[in-house]
Structure 1
Amino acid sequence: MACASDSQSLRAPHIDATLGIACDVEWEGEPLHRLVAIGDSLTQGFQSAAIFHTDLSFPAIVAHELGWADRFRYPRYDGYGGLPLNLELLLRDLQARFGKKVDWWETPSALFRARRFMDRVEDHWERGPGTSTVRTRAVNHNLAVFGWDLRDALDKSADVCRERISVPSDDLVNQVVQNAGERAALRVLPTEPVEAGAWTQLDAAQRLGEETGGTDPEHGIETLIVFLGPNNALQCVTELRVVWSEEGYDDLDRKGAFTVWRPEHFADELGLVADRVRGIKARHVVWCTVPHVTIVPLARGIGAKIEPGSAYFPYYTRPWTADRDFDPHQDPCITGDEARAVDHAIDAYNEAITDQVRQARQAGKDWYLLDTAGLLDRLASRRFLEDPAARPEWWQPYPLPPQLQALTPVPNTHYLATDGERRTDGGLFSVDGVHPTTVGYGILAQETVNVMRRAGVEFRRPDGETVRQDPVLVDFDRLVRRDTLINHPPGNLTSTLAVLGWADEVLDWIQRTLRFT
């Protein structure tokens, strides 16, 4: 059982991105590529079980604030709401036909309509225009691919992804885009010239670093963001199973059997990635820590906390399962002890990331730590914000920007809900309950901007010339306007989340869209 001090045992975040280690370096000129990002779904801009708004990923938001948006290259996924299935569009399609709820006698028709929607998405990406991946020789600046973990970053290339894409079958029941992750990667990774097909994320970033066509003679990249590791633990939440890594964790064909990496396995993989990053000619490298995945609203704590002062609930299950209906023998779930063990493993991951940054700074490299784990902890509604007794001594609430504080209700980390007309809860997580909304990505962008300013990076107006004065603030007014889940959420996403529970029961959308391995 948990003790009342288990919150206190959680790792305190690092507020100082330099870890208190001075790194005196002088730069000449300006690199050709001002911003490059390596990562997974959180860096690519995944939302509501699909990748589509790549122009609103957090690196793209940072590029906008840099005054460099017109030169920041990223993949696009136009058509049917992206890959693999845009839940927001599906809900809006159902609402257009059935209104704000699906009555029991409409269930067969609703199921038929949902499957028809999914069939059109599948046909687009497997047999239609979505199969085209025509690319130029220019390497993308956002090199993130949803679902990728540390091993994928080391081994997967466009050539590997092509080999892993099987011949699609038009299954009348299992209507989901096959090999969606590999298909998405073919729009991210370089394919020309021919030898570029063997380049991984890390290889592609290295090539950008070698393009010293700017006025900096040594670096092709000004700031490199590295945000890898969440997918080494996230599957325990999307599958609600804790399976610790064993032999085969470092094999592309075998690692899918595990949902959480043991800390020693994570550290081994991280070390290989860090060695590759050291070889990339980037002035500044920003490493992001791994958020505690058991905070995301897709895994809702059942009942009261294990005991006063605990950070954990007895069980975690789907958010549409009411406390009174929950049966641990029937419903998918993980226990509070398992959630705590996963969190402590992630704390160990983050210490390994911190050690890499510490060693690099001691060796004279201008690396920084962006503690995204601490950021999410400070936003965690049910774990800390609503339970003062569970707060560690270091905990302070995260100050949302004024534009978000002015919204009614103020966005939080609860699952998104509406009263049929407007948002009544949530707002920081999208419909899939794992990935941020546009304003949620904006918060991550703001924290990245803060670290980059600490590194001395100049932010400019859209003209690319006029230097901005501190504080450099993300334009949240722009993001609120673009965030449809904030200003116009689907009316059928009510507080009971019944439509999502129904959709998962009949369409199995969680396993089909969020199981990336």
Structure 2
Amino acid sequence: MKIFTMGDSLAQGFRSLSSARTDQCYSTLIAQVLQADPYRYPLWPHGGLPVDLERVMRRLEARYGSNIRAFEWLTVLQTINDVLDESETFYERGEGSENTPYPGGDRFWHNAAFWGATVADAWQVTPAVCKQAIRAAKSSRDEFLGVPNASYYRTALKVLNPQLDPALDGISQLGWLEHHARAEGVENLLLWLGANNALATVIQLRIQQTPNDPRNRPHQLGYFERASFGWNLWHPGDFAPEYEHLMNEVTRIMATNKAQDWRVFVGTVPEVTIAPLAKGVGETTEIDGSIYYKYYTYFPFEADFAHTSKYQLSLQDALHIDQCIHRYNDTIKSLVKAANARAGKPRFFIVDLCKAFHDIAWKRNDAQPPYQYPSDFEFIYPKVDSKYYHADETGRLRQGGLIGLDGVHPGAIGHGLLAWEFLKVMRDAGVNVDGAKINPEALDWSAIFASDSLYSSPIRIMREIYQNTRLAETLLKLLGAWKD
């Protein structure tokens, strides 16, 4: 097997609040450059889980055009609910339900990532866990503006056990890695976990940190016990042993690898506070060359919303989250160095995605991001950046283009840049294709730009999110379904 992928939403291709486009994610682009055939992954009808915001906005645009007029607001919620109902029907009771095997007979995928996964979920989340959670969430009726229940577990179930084979109910992401390493061998492992040990802080705009109790580390608890605490930020003292366990398991598994010339490419954790979902408002402060804001609230709201609502992070909160993440990355780099020392040769390679995301960030760099884009970006028009997506009523992209509508996850173009970052490290590590070093320039940027529907066909009704908080508030309510 030329390539196997472990990770979370970023590795799965989560897009605009849904697990929809694994075909466009960075690992699939890398597999294409590697000429890895087959490289199988699931597709997600009806926009995926929990809800595809782009699909919602396209439906609104199809019905109302580029703006919603006075009396039409009476029907907007029903229009949104119609989209959600289609997804609920498919995933709770239809062909996508937990009782129906994935069509086509695929027993496994080459991409085992699923959205919402923390580091420990790489071994704690199994099909058995998913089935238990889905049973507990069962409801006899559809809720208005509701999404498929247990969406996180429904996604993980179909990733880990697409044919619902009872013999595989105990398998995890690590379990599949071990299976493939022993069966046919894994030449290149893409490993990117850790973002979800901090990401919910900017989704919930609050911090609930793990206690750093050496007697009860989060990853030592049972899955459901750990989940019951609602932690959204791992203390660095809790993150370190959790990631160390992951690295020890990966090292153990790869030592049994049938492929002798194997490599592991390990992504660092991005600063989640740069996500455009968390809008910086108020006065700015420069700290260590980076720009921080007095408050962070939900896009597109302004400072008064941050002052009068509970939805805010302070400057101190944002700094604390970033400092935790920097410690996470220190841990990852230290563990990779130690693993290579034990192996006696470079086997593990850092892909510094934290730096890449930081360099791309528009506001964090005071509108002067230093990121060096591939040469294909030099004369593209319209230009893309990391700001929250916006297009005008004529269908012209005004800003954004790298991040999807959930304000956190990259679109197809953003995934192209992630692939670019991985491929540069893979080239330097000596990965070959047909006897020659893998070439990051082999990415087909024309196809990537064309495949990004937010860029190639901008949403004309986006103005309503900017000009009418009613729609923005309704869509923000769906964030609660991110991990149920």
- 1:343 corresponds to: 322
Matched, 1:149 2:122: no
- 1:179 corresponds to: 150
Deviations 1:151-203 (A, max 9, x none): 21121111221111132332333511111111111221135764322111001
Q: Which moves more between the two structures, 233-242 or 305-314?
A: 305-314
User: Separation in 1 of the partners of 2:440 and 2:145?
Assistant: 50
Deviations 1:220-278 (A, max 9, x none): 01000110110000000001011111357334224441111100101111111111101
Matched, 1:209 2:181: yes
Q: Which moves more between the two structures, 259-268 or 182-191?
A: 182-191
- 1:372 corresponds to: 353
- 1:9 corresponds to: none
- 2:210 corresponds to: 245
List aligned pairs for 1:317-396, cutoff 5 A.
317-323=297-303, 325-330=304-309, 332-364=311-343, 366-386=347-367
Aligned with 1:414 (options 381, 387, 398): 387
- 2:128 corresponds to: 159
Report the CA distance shift for 1:471/1:492 in structure 2 as closer, same or farther (over 3 A): closer
User: Separation in 1 of the partners of 2:87 and 2:438?
Assistant: 45
SS of the aligned residue for 1:221 comes to coil
Give unpaired runs (5+ residues) of structure 1. Answer: 1-32, 213-219, 388-395, 461-465
User: What is the Cα-based RMSD across aligned positions, in Å?
Assistant: 2.1
Report the CA distance shift for 1:198/1:113 in structure 2 as closer, same or farther (over 3 A): same
Query: Is the contact made by 1:119 and 1:176 (CA closer than 8 Å) also made in structure 2?
Result: yes
Query: Is the contact made by 1:459 and 1:472 (CA closer than 8 Å) also made in structure 2?
Result: no
Matched, 1:489 2:458: yes
SS of the aligned residue for 1:313 comes to strand
- Taking structure 1 as the reference length, the TM-score comes to 0.84
Aligned with 1:124 (options 76, 87, 90): 90
User: Separation in 2 of the partners of 1:505 and 1:385?
Assistant: 28
Query: Is the contact made by 1:317 and 1:331 (CA closer than 8 Å) also made in structure 2?
Result: no
- 1:224 corresponds to: 189
User: Separation in 1 of the partners of 2:146 and 2:420?
Assistant: 38
Query: Is the contact made by 1:98 and 1:110 (CA closer than 8 Å) also made in structure 2?
Result: no
- 1:235 corresponds to: 200
User: Separation in 1 of the partners of 2:292 and 2:454?
Assistant: 28
Report the CA distance shift for 1:150/1:106 in structure 2 as closer, same or farther (over 3 A): same
Query: Is the contact made by 1:305 and 1:311 (CA closer than 8 Å) also made in structure 2?
Result: yes
Aligned with 1:55 (options 2, 6, 23): 23
Matched, 1:294 2:273: yes
Aligned residues: 460
Deviations 1:449-497 (A, max 9, x none): 111112211135xxxxx85775643111110111111111211113863
The aligned amino acid for 1:512 is: G
User: Separation in 2 of the partners of 1:294 and 1:469?
Assistant: 33
Query: Is the contact made by 2:423 and 2:440 (CA closer than 8 Å) also made in structure 1?
Result: no
- 2:285 corresponds to: 306
Query: Is the contact made by 1:379 and 1:385 (CA closer than 8 Å) also made in structure 2?
Result: no
The aligned amino acid for 1:48 is: S
Query: Is the contact made by 1:150 and 1:273 (CA closer than 8 Å) also made in structure 2?
Result: yes
- Taking structure 2 as the reference length, the TM-score comes to 0.90
Give unpaired runs (5+ residues) of structure 2. Answer: none
Report the CA distance shift for 1:429/1:495 in structure 2 as closer, same or farther (over 3 A): farther
SS of the aligned residue for 2:189 comes to strand
User: Separation in 1 of the partners of 2:478 and 2:298?
Assistant: 10
- 1:391 corresponds to: none
SS of the aligned residue for 2:187 comes to strand
* Alpha-carbon distance, 1:120 to partner: 1.4
Structure number with the bigger relative contact order (C-alpha 8 A, sep ≥ 6) is 1
User: Separation in 1 of the partners of 2:196 and 2:145?
Assistant: 24
